[in-house]
Structure 1
Amino acid sequence: MAKLSVIIPAAGSGERMGADIPKPFLELGGRCILEHTISRFLNVRDIHQIVIAASSNYLPRIESLFKNFEEASVSYLAVEGGSERQYSIYNALQVIKDEVELVAVHDAVRPFIRSSLIEKCCEVASKVGGGVIGVPAKDTIKQVDEGRNITATPDRSKLWQAQTPQIFQKELLIKAYNSALADDFVGTDDASLVERIGGNVQMVEGDRKNLKITYPIDLKVAELILNNQL
């Protein structure tokens, strides 16, 4: 497998969770969510580097957190994030190792991604340019106008819910980010930036346990998953 670096943006707030600290630092089963998330990547073959982007006041905490991981073959680095997720990832891209071939971007609050899915996504990215973990949409999706009037019902069979990691060939992702910066374009995810410059990105089917912990109910579900009750 190609050499892999992982970028984990962790600069978001805990506002929607109703917490005083950012969501990645909330406790889950005796460890913070971010620690669970990092550990999921340490069993992946050819993992070389993990870069966490966070607000400046949390950088010392992240650097202290790194001491809990003893994998000598993996380089750990914390960098200051930006005002938007996209700018945090751009900052992290500046410190990616030269020898790395693939870059994964993963939400800090998705602590249940399986290493086998990460490796499958890496294989797809190596072949076509980019791979995105996702699941088929299970609900009917409605398109609305500014007044919330329904204007269309897209064919659900062609709709997927994108998750992370989203993994790309390093040079392709860097090119996409540089283009977005030059044009002052902000996308909804990393794949949208790569799609914008004509890059090929393929969906890789994941599972629904790879949830993003955003609201208090998500933390309750995460506790059930952690305790093998779901």
Structure 2
Amino acid sequence: MIFAAILAGGIGNRMGNVEKPKQYLLLGNKPIIVHTIEKFFINDKFEKIIVLCPKPWIKHTRDLVDKYVGETDRIAVIEGGSVRNETIMNAVKFIEENYEIDGESVIVTHDSVRPFLTHRIIEENIEFAGKYGACDTVVPATDTIVESADGELISSIPNRECMFQGQTPQSFKILKLKELYNSLTDEEKEVLTDAAKIFVIKGENVYLVEGEVNNIKITYPYDLKVANGMLKGE
């Protein structure tokens, strides 16, 4: 079985003084999150699409799904966690409570505010996660990456040819993800920035899916302006 988890748990502080989390702001004539849900909904490989959002926004999100996508049983809206990986594990818990999954079952996790992902990226995430157990969508770094341990002085300048910028989706075999997450110490959980790092910390391979520069994350007001420009150009 294959599942999608659309991560909409954030409140978007970096978007500035807005009245709602950034995933609910309009992109064109629809909320950002709706564009993202639609990209997954048209792929019939997904048994269930799970949208995880802040508890106060569950009803609003469900109403958006009903309005723009339709009253469909393929989409569930549930509460996210306080941090990213807790949100993903909420999705895993929901899947285990409602489905009989096995070691080949896959979860494709994606940021709700990356509405421009393509069918190819989704398909390759499904393929690579099923084949290898874990994959991450990335694009090659175009700028030189500078590392600073103290934020004041350069510690090192890694070889740019080995550097990639992470995007999403990130996709995993569900039971392996749960096993590795539950084996983490509290200290290891504190340094996690995404789910792929769970596999890296535990010495597991994470394979690369080629992303696209258009697969942007809408984080700041400028990003939303760019995204609206991209939408008009489609």
Aligned to 1:216: 221
CA distance in 2, matches of 1:171, 1:193: 13
CA contact (8 A) 2:136 2:209 kept: yes
* Aligned CA distance change for structure 1 residues 149 and 91 (closer, same or farther; 3 Å): same
Aligned to 2:2: 4
Matches within 5 A, 1:1-230: 3-18=1-16, 19-67=18-66, 68-70=68-70, 75-96=74-95, 97-99=99-101, 101-180=105-184, 185-186=189-190, 187-228=192-233
Post-superposition offset of 1:174: 1.5
* Aligned CA distance change for structure 1 residues 192 and 225 (closer, same or farther; 3 Å): same
Superposition CA RMSD, Å:
1.8
CA distance in 2, matches of 1:53, 1:25: 13
Q: How many correspondences in the alignment?
A: 226
CA contact (8 A) 1:172 1:199 kept: no
5+ unaligned residues in a row in structure 2: which ranges?
none
CA contact (8 A) 1:52 1:79 kept: yes
More displaced, 91-100 or 216-225? 91-100
Paired letter, 2:197: S
Q: Secondary structure at the match of 1:112?
A: coil
Quote the sequence identity (%).
36
Which structure's residues are more often helix, by fraction? 2
Q: Secondary structure at the match of 2:125?
A: helix
CA contact (8 A) 1:43 1:115 kept: no
Paired letter, 1:191: A
* Aligned CA distance change for structure 1 residues 139 and 60 (closer, same or farther; 3 Å): same
CA contact (8 A) 1:103 1:168 kept: yes
CA contact (8 A) 2:136 2:168 kept: yes
Q: Provide, for residues 51-78 of structure 1, a one-character-per-residue CA deviation record: whole Å limited to 9, x for no partner.
A: 1111111010111122132485x62212
Paired letter, 2:229: L
Post-superposition offset of 1:215: 0.4
Post-superposition offset of 1:147: 4.4
Post-superposition offset of 1:11: 1.6
Paired letter, 2:126: C
Post-superposition offset of 1:4: 1.6
CA distance in 1, matches of 2:45, 2:132: 19
Paired letter, 1:34: I
Q: Secondary structure at the match of 1:16?
A: helix
CA distance in 2, matches of 1:7, 1:199: 22
* Aligned CA distance change for structure 1 residues 145 and 184 (closer, same or farther; 3 Å): closer
What is the TM-score of this pair, normalised by structure 2?
Answer: 0.90
More displaced, 6-15 or 128-137? 6-15
5+ unaligned residues in a row in structure 1: which ranges?
none
